[in-house]
Amino acid sequence: MALEDGHSCPSRIKQTRTGKSAHPPDDISVRLRVCKFKQSFILFVMARHESDREDLMQEATGLARRVEWQVPFIADSVVAGFKKNGACSVYFGAEPVLQFDPAGCLRRAFFEGFLFRTQGTTLARLQRNRTANESQLVRHDLSDCELATFRVQACSWLRQLLQAIDLGQVVRVRQVPEGDDVILDLCAALRTALADGLPLAAALPAKR
């Protein structure tokens, strides 16, 4: 098997007439370990990528009207659509994710491994810390400066998507249902959210 660095993974060790290996034992063992490590790493990355994609598409099935695009600015697909109540969600691959309420106000987001939930006047950043004995949910309410920074970043994601759509740079992979005006409605909803400065929804009830 060929490796990325140009070496081959030895399938059989060449023997000399005296029965000794043609390569020093240390060199052979190192090459074997490198080969096995690279194979395991590639399989791990592939499995993680497939898992992320399956989770994304499974959650997106909750969107009664949705579309999936290939876009030029990220490697993963973008999935966006509406729930039955009219609430819009946008998935830029596994993350970032933006979820709005039917009025177009931001309810939740997922970015850099953190879940963000609206508190009405700001966003709470939630992180689950697990130890051998317990699992704790650590909450941090964003300051005014942190909230402003988050809004700038989130608005840039939406503008990139809208610009790619306007310029015909997206490739539609699938749409549910076919023939629906979901793309036009999505663009209108996202432009409204941008024009309003990405408003926050009312505080979500705390989970018990």
For the chain, the domains span 61-195
Task: Say if CB 70 and CB 31 are below 8 A apart.
Answer: no
Query: In terms of Cα–Cα distance, which of 166, 170, 173 is closest to 187?
Result: 166
Q: What is the pTM of this model?
A: 0.70
Query: In terms of Cα–Cα distance, which of 73, 78, 75 is closest to 89?
Result: 78
Rg (CA), the chain: 24
pLDDT, one tens digit per residue, over 29-80 is: 545 554 544 444 333 333 333 444 455 556 667 899 999 999 999 999 999 9
Give me the residue label for tokens 């690279």: 38
SS3 178: coil
pLDDT, one tens digit per residue, over 95-135 is: 999 999 999 999 999 999 899 999 999 999 998 877 777 77
Give me the residue label for tokens 């993680």: 48
Paired with 124 in beta bridges are: 117, 141
Task: Say if CB 172 and CB 68 are below 8 A apart.
Answer: yes
